[in-house]
Each structure stands twice: as structure tokens, then as C-alpha cells.
Structure 1
């Protein structure tokens, strides 16, 4: 006697189909699971035995062999419990084989047969839709999985309920999608007193997805500015929300099955490990750069991060994806994020203030910012010095544009870019433009080109820096709703590029 069920194994955001084959054969009673299972999968047999015992189902006195095919694909996680149990119940003729084979199942079994929530139900539902199957999952995961409306989601509270559903005794109603969470942020850009130049840079960064570095003395408002960046970003499009939510589903960050239209804002501590930032560890889980996909990654106290960790960001910043390589697998995660970083000018933080600076000025500043490698610094499109705000200015009433006003300008600029890059396979914002496309959309007028050439020669801009100035100038022109890039757009873009220098750099 044999039967099959279907589930999936997660590699990056991809849910690869797995066929669960269960066969009963004569011989000494035993329960073996083969097909490259990890420890959690191997332990499924004990959970399944106890769950079936709670249903008063006795296993036959035969040898039970479960094969997870393809056998060379690593199988990790407890979500294999449910499909193995269903294949076994079909093999002993308790469940109809066609009903079991017509669905993709995942879920962990507790000892009393209750289905425990598992990670990755959203990408699993996507895989089920591609295979033209229904999805069986634990009840708490139903609202999350039901966002994929191309497949029917049956969310059961326990294995007993699912057995009754499949045998026609008590039908389970298909799950409904969770709510879209769109709670407004209590923060507003008007909360920041002064710092008009930094606010302008924040607006440009939001409009074109340009990476931004703030430097300034402690308490000048760097973190406060960065925390308000999400309030001026447009909501996620439906496609972006699905991309982001699939990653968050694998990380267990979706609450109550609801999807958010707000862009993610991730701010890891500077003690975070390389695996925590880039991804990896047990199961090759997504890191902070992937959890910030389509949103903001804020690195406060940038020089305090280990240099090796920072340098691993260089390739993902350029490509928009990261590949976590292991000896037996390669997990690929998208990571198209907006990087915002903040740094003090030196270790004591008061390099510009002679009355408060330490005795090692200016060497302390050179050593401190020198922790950031030249190639990493070169990837910041905008570099802004944030001066301290005088205490008597803090009592002044709020001034400047609100987050809603700035967000409207950002939305108009992004709308221009959406039309510009319509149909392009990878480019979405100006920061993505390169090669011939960049030359077509961002070539400045004669005066602007002459200014850019003189600046590149005078300050030794790298080729990357030269192109990034063009991208920023194009975004500034979009904010002005100008068709062409003029010299004033180039001049403003250059002013943000040539602000913060590292030791040994000429502002490249």
C-alpha cells in the first residue's frame, strides 16, 4: 500500500514542491523518513504517532517508509508533519487518495493533534497556486495564505478537523484574507526643528531611492530625521507588498495574517552579526537587508559596525539581491532597499567644537570615519553634515513642510519615474538606471555637463560617483517636474556628493 501527498521546501523566497511518498511493506514494524531530512523532520514520526493516537488511530504492524522527493533537496522545518500524516492516513485507506494528492499541505502537529502555526505559508500558497492545488495549513496561518486568491486555502484547527473535512463529515470553510494594516505614523517631518538642508536631502533620497549618509555631532537630529523617512515614502504597490510580505512570512513577521502597505523600516543594532544583516544561519534565513526590501535600512552609528559586515553590503546595494551560499544549497533573497546611515564625526563626537573635542583632534576623526571603506563610502549618493541646533531654536514653533506635503511631492516624482521605467524588467526608480538608459534620461545640458566634468576632474570622482551624481540630478529634476537636467540640478547633486570626506579621499 502506498500514497502520496505534497508540500514544499523553502530556499530563499522560493517554495520548491516536494512529493511525500508513503509506503507500507511487510517486515518488522518501523517508521523511517528518508530524503535528506533535518532533525526536525526526522522527529516528525514521534509527533505523528502521538497525534494519531489522540485520534484513536492505530498504526499497522508493518514497516512504514516515507520518502521526501526529490531526495537530494535538503528538507528543513517542522511543517512536514502534516503532509507526512496525510500521506500515511491515505496509505492506510482512512483518507481518499485523490483528496490528499489534490492539495499542498504544511503544518506542525502537536502531541494532541492540534495544528501549530509554521513559517512561510504565503510563499507556500503561491507554490500551491502554481501547481493548481489547494492549500492545507494551520488555522492561524489561513488569513495570511488566503491573500493568494488563485488557490483555495483550507485552514484547520487540528488534524481531526482536517480528516473530517476530507472524508465529508464536516466541511471547513475556505479561509479569508486578513486585513490590510495601514496605521498612520505618529511621527512627522515638522517635528524636526531646523535642518532644512538635511530635510531636502531626505526628500531627494525618498524620491529616487538614493542612499544617504548623515554625519554630525551627537544630538543634532540624525536618527530623528531617519526615523521620519518612512512618513514621506509612498505606500507599497500591490506587487511590492506581496514581494515584501513573502519575505516577512518566512521570518514570521506577519501579524494576524494581515499585510501592510507601509514600507518596512529596519534599524539593526551595530552589534548585529553578518548572518543577521545579510542572511544565513540555520535554514539560511533572510537577513535585515532582505527584511528591508522595498523599504528603508537604517544603520545608526555606522562606523561601529564591523568593517567586514559593512563591506558585505557593497554587492547587494548594486544588484538588489543577495545569495546566501552554503555547501549544499544556495538561497537567493531580494534586497532592494534604501540605505540610510548616521555617523558621528569622530569617536568622542565633537570634532567640530574646539571647546568639547578630545586631545586627538583631528586624528580621531580621520581614524573613526576611516573605518568605513572607500568603496562603501562611494555608494552613498547623498552625504550630509547635520549641524547641531541651537537650544533657543528648539522653543520656536514647528516650521517647514509636513510629512504629508513632502510625501505628495515624492509621490509625483515617483509617478514620473513609473511612467519612465514602465516595461523595464529591473529599473523602478532613478537609482536603478544605468548604461544607455542613464545616458538617455540624465544627460545634462551643455552648462551642466561642463560643470560636472570640472567637478569630476577637480575632486577625482570615480566612475560610480559620476553616474550617481547624474542619477541624483535626474531625481532633483523630477521633483521640479522638469523634462531636462539643467546645470542647477547638477550643482545641487554635486553639493550633496562633496560634503563628507574620508581620510585619504578627495571627496570621491
Structure 2
């Protein structure tokens, strides 16, 4: 057989594309030609494959060898194509013999990835989990053959058969049924990560550390139940940061699929995989962070940023008004879309960014505006300038706005909140109801789903319209109110949104700036004068 065709895949961000590796051996002067928009690293596989075949005890053919990596317009990088190229050469020369039934039934579902050393050993490759996820999604019957060092991670994908081999000779013996390699399992990988998960739970902060902020704790639970974003404002020292830091402790564990998606994102990040088991990620970037570090980017390779590394978790922005204006404005699109698109000269990557934003902000530069005991030293102009650092469009995309009040009693004597473990159980049950009913969390409901699942009675509709007119709410804010009312009803275990649920949702949109408070005040004044 002078032509062999095998399956492989090319990595692109956090997804991969099927690549057909075609190897043809014909008469002519000895040459080894590799085509298909291959990078320098892929073209260097010619020397690695030749030496690895000879070192493994096989004969390297003398003739004109042409290797085509299809599709031709897809860039190919790294040495993961060494294994399919070497097997293609052996199949084309008859040194690897497959039965007709194997070629017809088995070969179309076999996928080969792996870099070869000069001795014929298989070396570890980059992002094996991404390759495994993409291959399984495109072909549920797929059998992935790869280096044994990466097989345990790839075997995390339930339903995918992963064969981990140590060398080229082992792969050939397995395919010829001379020495069968057992399918790899995720037991070793999972055993290590379970310990990490237990450690992550133990080090979580507890919500019971918060005292005297019953309403704030309820809104934090409401945000966790529906995956809503929340902005905590108020004078310095009232406990905004303490509340925000406890949000991860009441979030339920990730599902296996969510954990795999997070591991896939981490595998292409600059820092690699930093797994915390099944606990959701919690990122706390400093206010001096750059746009590429927060959103993702890089000079040549577009790495995922903090918002993508917080996928299925929470992103805490403390001192929100201290972040650069451009950085905050860039969050508007991923907050709604749940993903971020990063374009570079020769590529464009789309990374998921379905995170829950929790932010804390002081009302002014000195931090004591509206404090009952401390005096604010800021002028009206300075207050307006400080509060205007957070734009209206960004505030519209944050579901819950709550001013945390100062404690009027002693912190020691105040009543503590419930433990995080108790609240986490309620949040898990509430989220389960949402997924069972609509397939997504309430914060991610689209317009059509809002009309279907957030139905109000005529009386409640009039109440919402009156509040929207009074506070000059946009359509986006009104939809956010409906989502919050749906979450409040789910917390009670009710299917119908009632008046208390809508009242709580409206209460959650407290004005952040003095300008907004003034607009509401003068609206009430004009309304009262018109009645008189």
C-alpha cells in the first residue's frame, strides 16, 4: 500500500480541528516533502520521524515521501503530528499491517497525537484535555492514541477510550493485536485532585464570620442562587470586602463537565493547570491589572485572561472605581455574552468567560460619604468625578446594587450569619431547580426565556412599569429585575413570581451615585406637585 490516511487534530485556542494525515510513498529520488500550512516545528518532524522509525527497529523507505496535512488552509503547529506521520509511513510500506475489517471499522475512529523522540519514545504534548474534549464531541466512538504521560488527563472525558503508549513500537504492537494496551483511566489523576478539592473546601472562609448584616447576606445568597452579578457599595469599613470574599464559600461544587472546561482553559494559560478540584474558581485581580491580563491576550499567542480563568466561578473586583476606565468598559461585552473574542494578526481566539462578577466600591475618594460618625472631606465635584469612573452602561449590566449600611451596634454583640455549608446546600438546590426547568441559571436567561419563565400578573406588571418610569430604567435593567424576581421565587421554592419577589428585585437596584439619587428625588417631587 503506497497511501495511508490517519486521523489527528490541530489545536486552536481551547478547541481542536480534525486533521487528515495523508502519507504517500512513490518512486523517485529520495525526498521527504511535508505540505499543508505546517509551521517550522511541524516541518522538523521529518528528521524526528526518520530517526524514530530506524531506532524502533523498522526500515525507513527510500523514495519520494509526501505528507499532506488536510485541510491545507488550517495552520498546524507543534510536534503532535509525529506519531500519525510515522504510522502512515509504516502503513504505506507494509510494515504495519491492519486487517481489512480493522481498516474499515476501526481506522476511521482512531485518532493519533504524540511527539516522537529520536529513540522512538512518545513525549508529552500540550493541552491533551482540549484535544480529548474536541475529539469526543465530534466522534463519540473515538479511540485516542497518545503518550502515556498525558493519557490520564485525557481519560477525564467520560466515554472516550484513551490508549496511552510509551513508544512507537508499543503503538504498532497494539494495532497489530500482538500486545494489547489497556485503556487508560482517570483514577490516578482524580485521586490527586480529590485531595486538592478537600483542601480547597477547608480553607474557604465562612459566611458566619459576618455579623449584623442579615440583609446583605440574603442578597449574597440571592446572587449565588441565580449566578447574578453584585455590586456592594458603602462607606469604608462596613464589611463590603468581607462579604465579597465569602461568596465562593456558598457556591456549590462544579460538575464534571464544568471542571473539564476549566482545566482546558487553564491548560493553555501562561501559568498552566492550577486545579482546585471541583471547587469553583475565584479570581481577585488588583486594580492595576492591565487589559490583556484581565481579558486575555499576548504578543503572539492569545492567552486566556482572568475573566476566562474565572469561568464557572467568581471574579472579585475590589475598589471598583480604582480600576482603569478602559479596563472596566471592556467587561461589558463578556458580562452579557459569556465569552471573549481576542484577535491577533494571524489568528482569532474565542475563550469562554461565564463568570459571576462581585464588586466592591467606596462612595467617594475618602470613603466616608454617608457615614453616620465619620465626616466626608470630599467636595460635590470630587464625589461626582469619583462615582462617574464607573459608567452607566457597566452599572446596567450588574444585577444587584446594594449599599451596605454601617453597624449601629457592637460587632461582637451582633448576630452572626448562617454557616456557609448550610447556605451552600440551599444554593445548590435552588440552582438544580433552575437547570431542571430551563437548562441555564436565571442570570443567563435570554429575552425569549424571560417571557416564558418570568411571567408577572397584570398588577405586578403595572408595578414594575411604574418603578421603571420613576427610576428611568432601560430595557436591560427591566429584564435584570425580572431575572432577580425569578431567583427570589426560586429561593422560596415557588413557581409563580409574587409581589414580595418583585419588591425584593426592585429593592436590589439601589442607586449607586448621587446623580441617580437626585434624579429619583426630583421625579418624586414633580410627581407630588402634579397630584396637588
* Length-normalised TM-score, structure 1: 0.84
Is the partner of 1:497 in helix, strand or coil? Answer: coil
Per the TM alignment, residue 504 of structure 1 is displaced from its structure 2 partner at its CA by: 6.8
Greater share of helix: 2
Find the aligned partners of 1:25 and 1:12 in 2 and give their Cα distance.
36
Matched, 1:415 2:464: no
Specify the alignment match of 2:168 in structure 1.
Answer: 159
Note if contact 2:366-2:378 (Cα within 8 Å) is conserved in structure 1: no
Alignment of 1:212-361 (within 5 A): 212-217=230-235, 220-251=238-269, 260-281=277-298, 282-326=300-344, 329-352=347-370, 360-361=378-379
Between 1:51-60 and 1:405-414, the stretch displaced more is 51-60
Superposed CA RMSD in Å reads: 3.5
Matched, 1:500 2:512: yes
Is the partner of 2:7 in helix, strand or coil? Answer: strand
Matched, 1:135 2:144: yes
Q: Of 457, 460, 467, which aligns to 2:469?
A: 457
1:158-216 Cα deviation digits (max 9, x unpaired): 33433443455543221012427342343211123333332222101111111111234
Matched, 1:401 2:404: no
Matched, 1:171 2:180: yes
Note if contact 2:209-2:417 (Cα within 8 Å) is conserved in structure 1: no
Matched, 1:119 2:119: no
User: Which stretches in structure 2 are left out of the alignment for 5+ residues?
Assistant: 521-532
Change (3 A) 1:117 1:502: farther
Per the TM alignment, residue 133 of structure 1 is displaced from its structure 2 partner at its CA by: 3.3
Change (3 A) 1:504 1:479: closer
Alignment of 1:349-388 (within 5 A): 349-352=367-370, 360-387=378-405
Matched, 1:194 2:212: yes
1:302-332 Cα deviation digits (max 9, x unpaired): 3343333332332232233334445655544
Find the aligned partners of 1:203 and 1:82 in 2 and give their Cα distance.
51
Per the TM alignment, residue 20 of structure 1 is displaced from its structure 2 partner at its CA by: 1.3
Find the aligned partners of 1:268 and 1:309 in 2 and give their Cα distance.
12
Greater Rg by CA: 2
Find the aligned partners of 2:58 and 2:321 in 1 and give their Cα distance.
61
Find the aligned partners of 1:362 and 1:21 in 2 and give their Cα distance.
72
Find the aligned partners of 1:227 and 1:507 in 2 and give their Cα distance.
32
Change (3 A) 1:454 1:81: same
Find the aligned partners of 2:383 and 2:79 in 1 and give their Cα distance.
50
Change (3 A) 1:163 1:238: same
Find the aligned partners of 1:110 and 1:219 in 2 and give their Cα distance.
59
Per the TM alignment, residue 460 of structure 1 is displaced from its structure 2 partner at its CA by: 1.3
Change (3 A) 1:397 1:455: closer
Is the partner of 1:3 in helix, strand or coil? Answer: strand
* Length-normalised TM-score, structure 2: 0.81
Specify the alignment match of 1:424 in structure 2.
Answer: none
Change (3 A) 1:70 1:496: same
